[in-house]
Chains A and B, each alone.
Chain A
């Protein structure tokens, strides 16, 4: 008896799945796509890009220096193409660093800016906001280029493995992991399609879509901000800006995105 009613419910669910939401869902996703296309033309990320470029060239900080000698992995001052090879290992710090943790290093060594002023700051305020603008401009200089993160150094390979474990590690009050949302194809939160981050999700999707401008709150979000909010949504303890955890996840996502072309800066809901 009980078995029969369960089968009936399943059949009923199957039917609604076929006729009801599936048809409506397609049109609403198309409508959202259309909305995004309209926004793309006047992406306010341009404003942050302009600010970032100015900050790169401007003499600032206690040492009154610009960031033009900052080595982002392709030699001092080379910006183009640097973003699609980050995170990578740096000999001077002896660490694997992503774009933003590298910027923290450059801002402190070249300009004398206290790393705490960035790491302990709030999003969108002070030196943290400057770092986001810099990251937006630097990332945009590699627009259209394919990700090819180096995996030659043993630490880079280690960080990939650490990132992989973090990606699948379940915890927090909801027993969530990154993989709960990003470990399967065809998932979404409300109307947002969620990329499957176990593999390359495609050009301009997932790792290749950040930094992005968020229309709903008018904020520019870097990859660090994206990861920070993913952890908040999972109800994990607050992740520290530019910490090894965030870099390791960045290596895992970046290596998986191998070959995908970066579309940044993008625009999001």
Chain B
């Protein structure tokens, strides 16, 4: 089971800035370990976000995204108290969903 994300969503006017910190190894599949064996690729492939259940972001990621990725985006029309949830899925099929309340 993957570690939880940290999600902060702050409203200013009609725009809400969402900052997401994900805990993931993001192994590229290009690196070798000390014994010379290739370390298998392990990275987040799909990221999506919903605002009160309605999709607002959908992204496809690859191995070039850094370890413990940080994602920031702006949602129009979200108000304080609204629910924002973020889902990621990696190439091993593992996934993680976390929710935050807009403040």
Across-interface contacts of A51 in B (CB, < 8 A): 3
A203 at the interface (CB under 8 A from B): no
Across-interface contacts of A42 in B (CB, < 8 A): 19, 21, 70, 72
Across-interface contacts of B72 in A (CB, < 8 A): 41-42
B50 at the interface (CB under 8 A from A): no
Across-interface contacts of A41 in B (CB, < 8 A): 19, 70, 72
Tell me the complex Cα distance, A60–B21, Å.
27
Q: Is the CB of A44 within 8 A of B68?
A: yes
Total cross-chain contacts (CB, 8 A): 27
Closest to A213 in B: B68
A240 at the interface (CB under 8 A from B): no
Contact with A47, one of B6, B19, B66 (Cβ below 8 angstroms): B6
Proximity bits, A26-48, B CB within 8 Å = 1, else 0: 00000000000000011010110
Tell me the complex Cα distance, A193–B77, Å.
44
The dominant DSSP class at the B interface is loop
> Interface size of A by Cβ–Cβ distance < 8 Å?
9
* Interchain nearest-CB distance for B64 vs A (Å): 14
Q: Is the CB of A47 within 8 A of B3?
A: yes
Across-interface contacts of B67 in A (CB, < 8 A): 44, 218
Proximity bits, B57-86, A CB within 8 Å = 1, else 0: 000000000111010100000000000000
Q: Is the CB of B70 within 8 A of A47?
A: no
* Additional 20 contacts, C-beta under 8 A, given A41-B70, A47-B6: A41-B19, A41-B72, A42-B19, A42-B21, A42-B70, A42-B72, A44-B21, A44-B23, A44-B67, A46-B6, A46-B21, A47-B3, A47-B21, A47-B23, A47-B68, A50-B4, A50-B6, A51-B3, A215-B66, A218-B66
* The 10 residue pairs across chains A and B that have the minimum distance between CB atoms: A42-B70, A218-B67, A44-B68, A47-B23, A46-B6, A42-B21, A46-B21, A218-B68, A42-B19, A44-B21
18 contacts between A and B (CB under 8 A): A41-B19, A41-B70, A41-B72, A42-B70, A42-B72, A44-B21, A44-B23, A44-B67, A44-B68, A46-B6, A46-B21, A47-B6, A47-B23, A50-B4, A50-B6, A51-B3, A215-B66, A218-B67
